[in-house]
Amino acid sequence: MAARIYVDNFKDKVIDSPIPVLVEFYSDSCVACKKLAPVLCEIEEDYEGKISVFKVNTNYDQVLAQKFNIKSNPTLVLFKEGVDVDKQIGAKEYNDLSDWIDTNI
């Protein structure tokens, strides 16, 4: 399961990461976020060593949500070399998500 990160460790875990990072911006009450959770677990396992996967709770880390212009949950942001290279909004199926990752990493 993707580890939750916070504003105080975001730079270390995401911006300074030597490998690409997929960040899910979510909230606990989001039904689509709950639907996406098992897909992200599978992505995390299948892409181990190629990307890191983390979660940011938009209810508690509003600074990060504002910084990356997050308007709805879930929003997936892919970071490469510390830069947000692309976004996806809403729950995704495994194949759609893996194709998107492969295209961007």
Catalytic residues: 30, 33
Give the integer Cα–Cα distance in Å for 73 and 1: 18
Cα distance between residue 63 and residue 50, in whole Å: 28
DSSP 11-70: IIIIIT-SS-EEEEEE-TT-HHHHHHHHHHHHHHHHTTTT-EEEEEETTT-HHHHHHTT-
Which of these, 14, 2, 3, 23, lies nearest to 76 by C-alpha position? 23
